Amino acid sequence: MAPSSSKAASPPPAARRGAGAPAAGVALVALAAATLPLVTRDSYYLDVATTILMNLTLTMSFRLQVSTGQINMAHISFMGIGAYASALLVTRVGLSFWATLWIGALVAAALAVPIGSVALRVSGPYYFLITFAFSEVVRLVFNNFLEGWFGGPSGLVGIPKPDRLLGLAFEGKLELYGLMAVLCVGVALAFVRLEYSRFGLTASAIRQADLLAETLGVDVFRYKLTTFVLGSFVAGLAGVFFAHFRQVLHSSDFGLEPMVLLVVFTVIGGTGSVWGPVVGTVLMTIAGELLRELHHYEILVFGAVLILTMLWAPEGLVALPATVRRLLRMRRSKDARAMGVGLAP
Amino acid sequence: MSIDLLVQALLNGFGLAMVYVLVALGLTLIFSILEIINFAHGEFYMLGGYVTYYVYALFGLNYFATLGLAIVTVGLAGVVAERLIFHDLRGKALNAFIVSLGLLWVMQAGAQLAFGVLDKPVPSAFSGIVRMLGLVISLERLVVTVCAIVLIVGLYLFLRLSRPGRAMRAVAQDADVAALQGVNIEAVSALGFGVGCALAGGAGGLLAPLFAVSPAMGALPVVKAFIIIIVGGMGSLPGAVLGGLLLGGVEGLGTLFMGSAAVNILGFLMVIVVLLVRPRGLVGGA
Amino acid sequence: MRIRGGTAAVVIMALAAAVGTATPGATQDKTLTIGVLGPLSGGAASYGVELVRGAEMKVEEINKAGGLKVGNDVYRIKLVSYDHKALAADAATAANKLVFQDKVKYIIGNAVGATCNAVQTVTEPEKVLFSFVCWGTNNLGPDKPHSFRAMLSQWEVAEPFYRWVKDKHPQIKRVAAISPNDTSGKDTNTAVVKALKGLGFEVAADEYYERGTKDFYPILTKILATKPDMLDVAAAPPGEAGLILKQARELGFKGPKGWTAGVNPVTVIGIAGKEAAEGVWSPANINVKSDFVSATVRRFGEEYERRYKEVPGVIAVANYAAFDVFTKAMQDARSLDTDKVLAALTQKPFDTVWGKLVLGGKETYGIDRQFLYPVVISEIRDGKVVDIAQVLPTALKK
């Protein structure tokens, strides 16, 4: 039951396409990820690329939640839950990374059910604030409580890298990069298919007008909770990888600063498209790394870049070509403007 | 645990609550009029602190005159920020979030580069301790609280009685209807943002002699402000006052019995409970 | 539309790879690149900025004098500093950049405990010498032979300090300690409590506050209710330490005060006010304006203030001294090879702004990687910092 195209707000571009093309987009990203190691084996570039891929899984899952109208500020907390869960299971219980990868994500998803159910009792800015409050509570717990488990303000150190799988070792930067690439592409594929499926259309309808969607028979709460839990599962997955990639965990890795960066990547990229987070994460991470050269001025310039980008590309960078075209069209047809054509698509 | 101790703890908590209420009121005013949350609000508080440092501590102008100057200067800075950056973002919460984040970084890093990175002391305008009934009340904090109350009452009267104030309330209630009635939304937005920042700047000036000034000093007051307006209710002045007292009381008493992290968690739990039980806040209605 | 995002991603990654693999221009003179990490923004910025400034001052001194002569070569030192914003993950990436892109073999300067652990995951496997001022206990160890702490930590200082207190001020029996709630705060309070218990003091209170707090009335009310004889602001940074002292006085505390992990006494005096700062003992800071320091230190302080318009704290001096020690070790080793320099570092004492300095700490950390120099106990008198006692670490007593 796709929203009818005769309504004032046209349906999301998704509805007009078929299902095969998005997979091609994922294939392109997979190809890009695969070619990087052929171009460079530099440890620093691999490190940045691995971080980008990891952030991609986080921003894509965050964006899934945003597509149902949820700005979930606790997203990073579920990354932390997965991370600490895996770190503890591997170092204390002796489980293999390949098991804790899924267990950690499941723990995150399991905790997402009660937290999400509570958070979803409110919406809009209140939802934003309640998830922020939850994320601070989780961070404070990691930082100060159960020190025997979480390491207190000093954090956890000495987390081992992933153990061997089918004879393949994961000690080097290249192997870890490869692992994250596989995870990321898998997640991207899942999300792209979801976006263009019935689930995705319904989610988009909810974001645009949830009361209306409800009258059309959509169980809004169930959809929102599903995206919350699903997103948290993926965040947990990223968290497990993070723990064994960096080998050091600290509560600050799961606090407001990294969460805010995820929001920045997603919004700057554009929340309207499943590719928004990809563009945003890649471009802003690279910009951030380039800005390191400015030492003292890094944060100042980064802030200015944020302001300017948001003002010039309010719908996100991924929508920039479309916005520019519309502006040009408006310029060319003054009559159309006189008739009342505006910036709406 | 003696009664004296408990009362002193409660008093400690209330002591500076009114100043944080000022910060909260600025935030909630901006939210009501422009429907956005300004994450850089704490940086305007910081600006007020530095104006006070340079004009009062270094230059030597009378403290109250400096306070007035801080309020006006930061208010103007707010108007400039609104005109340059925020006015197109009315209602676009997510975009405003990113933009205000960028502004936060620009202002904080800029302050560090311009003013230096160390804490700068500001001499107390009033010193002395008042001791009564076994309780300790610092004269400085008493004066600061009184000033904050004066500003809060001033704001209340401004919103209730003056034309621009009533225009702001109209826009806060329903911008479209207000526009139809001839209210200049652009002017009200700019003024509202300016007044909101001015309140933060005033709070910064009030607390500068107590706490010294540093580029990152705006971070904590803004978190408190958020908790206050959620608990009290967004858009409600009496709600903010109540929220401030509640938060202050909880923190003051809580510190007696538990560690600082637990007290912090308590504040956030308060937020969660209020959002679940009465999302509009204890007093919030509109 | 949906493919565009994917295409953009490909183009961007290709561009990035192309930009990155372009090599910098070849150097004419020999250059020695040394890295500095730290929080250059946010609440902890004063640590990072001081680290960079201390480094800059020493490097400029060396370069102005014609460069660093190591063996038969002369090197111009180039400093590369990055901001890790006090985030562990950021520090790891920045360390990767320093080690693999800037190709440094020495990272001299870092602060904030959690970031030290993160950087070590990069520097230890690559045998990069890493010197920091982080106070985390687990930052040094036999499993981290390339890591050094360039500044006395609470483990070196708490015991001699309280031994002196017990000796000179036997009327003090109950001590209360307060620190920020993070790695250095936790470790400092732990060290202080251990020293106190070992020497027979009573621990009246062992409290923490969230970094960034300015209103200490609630926590001071709790602490003062335990009736301590002495208040130790332990690991509180200068701004917060000054506020705690000021507010403690307002609340009626007039007893002796200590600052076990103090770093910048001048700021404390400014913020606490002369009255509240009167009599504060501190075993860890250096006062560049004191009558007791050498002419070199005085000059360093004046030059620093001229350049940066702010008074240097202990961390700036510490990194200045660290650069001094490492470059001298390079000269002793007649090589930039990290194994040889490592050996040279542990050979003999060095003459630095602190006085005689030697590497030690095996009893505490299992390996000699802690810079040890005389512990100078100072007291604030009438708004000025006065050195009143000196305690030599055992390693220097020979």
Domain boundaries, chain A: 20-294
Mean pLDDT of A28-48: 86
Q: A118 contacts in B (CB within 8 Å)? A: 272, 276
Mean pLDDT for chain A overall: 85
Say which CATH class A20-294 falls into. mainly alpha
List of E strands, chain B: 129-132, 135-138
- Token match 């939802």: residue? A127
Q: Is pLDDT above 50 for B218? A: yes
pLDDT at residue C23, as a whole number: 42
Summarize pLDDT for B112-150 with one digit per residue, the tens: 999 988 889 998 888 888 887 777 788 888 899 999 999
Name the nearest CA neighbour of B223 among B251, B193, B191: B251
Summarize pLDDT for C76-130 with one digit per residue, the tens: 999 999 999 989 999 999 999 999 999 999 999 999 888 999 999 999 999 999 9
Say which CATH class C154-283 falls into. alpha beta
SS3 C282: strand
Virtual torsion, Cα A104, A110, A115, A119, nearest 10 deg: 110
- Token match 């400034």: residue? C53
Residues contacting C14, CB < 8 A, separation 6+: A32, A35, A39
CB-closest option in C12, C17, C93 to A47 = C93
pLDDT at residue A339, as a whole number: 63
CB of C43 less than 8 A from some CB of B: yes
pLDDT at residue A338, as a whole number: 62
Q: B118 contacts in C (CB within 8 Å)? A: 46, 238-239, 264, 267, 310-311, 313
CB-closest option in A33, A44, A278 to C5 = A278
CB of C242 less than 8 A from some CB of B: yes
Residues contacting B32, CB < 8 A, separation 6+: B168, B172, B192, B234, B235
CB contact under 8 A, B271 and A267: no
For the entire predicted model, the pTM comes to 0.88
* A331 vs A325: CA distance, rounded Å: 10
SS3 C73: strand
Tokens standing for A182?
A: 């596989």
CB of C294 less than 8 A from some CB of A: no
CB-closest option in C5, C83, C97 to A273 = C5
User: Residue C349 CB: number of other CB atoms within 10 A?
Assistant: 15
CB-closest option in C181, C208, C218 to B9 = C218
Summarize pLDDT for A275-329 with one digit per residue, the tens: 889 999 999 999 999 999 887 788 899 999 999 998 888 888 888 888 778 778 8
CB contact under 8 A, C10 and A273: no
Residues 8-27 of C with CB under 8 A from A: 8-10, 12-14, 16-17, 20-21
Please indicate whether residue C258 or residue C18 has the higher confidence score (pLDDT): C258
Percent of chain B with pLDDT over 70: 99
Helix (H) or strand (E) holding A10: none
The interface predicted TM-score (ipTM) is: 0.88
Contact (CB, 8 A) for B50 and B44: no
* B163 vs C136: CA distance, rounded Å: 59
For an interface test with B, the pick among A70, A118, A126 (most B C-beta atoms closer than 10 Å) comes out as A126
Residues contacting A44, CB < 8 A, separation 6+: C96, C97, C99, C100, C101
Q: C14 contacts in A (CB within 8 Å)? A: 32, 35, 39
Please indicate whether residue C26 or residue A33 has the higher confidence score (pLDDT): A33
The type of residue at A330 is M
Mean pLDDT of A5-26: 52
Residue C1 banded pLDDT, cuts 50, 70, 90:
very low
Mean pLDDT of C52-58: 95
Residue B4 banded pLDDT, cuts 50, 70, 90:
confident
Summarize pLDDT for A226-276 with one digit per residue, the tens: 999 999 999 999 999 999 999 999 999 999 999 999 999 999 998 888 888
Q: A150 contacts in B (CB within 8 Å)? A: none
Domain parsing of chain B, residue ranges: 13-217
Q: Distance between alpha carbon C175 and the CA centroid of its chain, in Å?
A: 25
CB–CB contacts below 8 A, A to B:
104
SS3 B184: coil
Which of B17-26, C10-19, C244-253 shows the lowest mean pLDDT across its residues? Answer: C10-19
pLDDT at residue A337, as a whole number: 59
Q: Is pLDDT above 80 for C157? A: yes
CB-closest option in C218, C252, C271 to B251 = C218
Q: How close does chain A come to B137, measured CA to CA in Å?
A: 32
**Rg, C-alpha atoms of chain C:** 22
Residue A10 banded pLDDT, cuts 50, 70, 90:
very low
The residue count of chain C comes to: 398
pLDDT at residue A3, as a whole number: 41
Domain parsing of chain C, residue ranges: 31-152+294-374, 154-283
CB contact under 8 A, A71 and B94: yes
Residue A342 banded pLDDT, cuts 50, 70, 90:
low
CB contact under 8 A, C250 and B219: no
CB contact under 8 A, B106 and A126: no
For an interface test with B, the pick among C178, C250, C268, C269 (most B C-beta atoms closer than 10 Å) comes out as C250
Q: What are phi and psi of C206, to 5 degrees?
A: -135, 85
Q: Is pLDDT above 90 for C178? A: yes
Name the nearest CA neighbour of C189 among C197, C199, C178, C200: C178
CB contact under 8 A, A314 and B230: no
CB of B230 less than 8 A from some CB of A: yes
pLDDT at residue A214, as a whole number: 67
Contact (CB, 8 A) for C126 and C99: yes
Q: Is pLDDT above 70 for C32? A: yes
Chains interfacing with B (3 or more CB pairs < 8 Å): A, C
User: Residue A224 CB: number of other CB atoms within 10 A?
Assistant: 25
pLDDT at residue B176, as a whole number: 83
Q: B217 contacts in C (CB within 8 Å)? A: 214
CB-closest option in B93, B234, B261 to A144 = B261
Contact (CB, 8 A) for B220 and B267: no
CB contact under 8 A, A248 and C17: no
CB-closest option in B106, B264, B271 to A129 = B271
- Per CATH, the number for C31-152+294-374 is 3.40.50.2300
Please indicate whether residue B111 or residue B94 has the higher confidence score (pLDDT): B111
Name the nearest CA neighbour of B49 among B28, B73, B25: B73
Burial zone of B153 (CB within 10 Å; 0-12 exposed, 13-18 middle, 19+ buried): exposed
pLDDT at residue C264, as a whole number: 77
SS3 C204: strand
Tokens standing for C226?
A: 């335990």
